[in-house]
Amino acid sequence: MLDAKLNWGLMMTDQHDEIEVLFAQARAVTPVVSDGLFARIMADAAAADMVRQPRAPVLPQKGWFAGLLAALGGWPALGGLAMATVAGVWIGVAPPTQLTDIAVSLWGGTETVSLSLQDDVFGLEG
Give the pLDDT confidence of 68-108 residue by residue, as tens digits: 888 889 899 999 999 999 999 998 888 887 777 777 788 77
Half-sphere exposure of residue 61, counting CA atoms within 13 Å on the CB side? 10
User: pTM for the full model?
Assistant: 0.34
pLDDT tens digit sequence for 113-126: 766 666 665 666 65
Exposure string of 81-116, with b = 16+ CB inside 10 Å and e = fewer, is: eeeeeeeeeeeeeeeeeeeeeeeeeeeeeeeeeeee
Higher pLDDT, 56 or 45: 45
Distance CA 108, CA 70 (A): 44
Query: How far is Cα 68 from Cα 73, in angstroms, rounded to an integer?
Result: 9
DSSP H stretches of helix in 1-126: 2-28, 35-51, 63-72, 75-93, 97-107
Separation CA 39–CA 35 (nearest Å): 6
The confidence band for 6, taking pLDDT boundaries of 50, 70 and 90, is very low
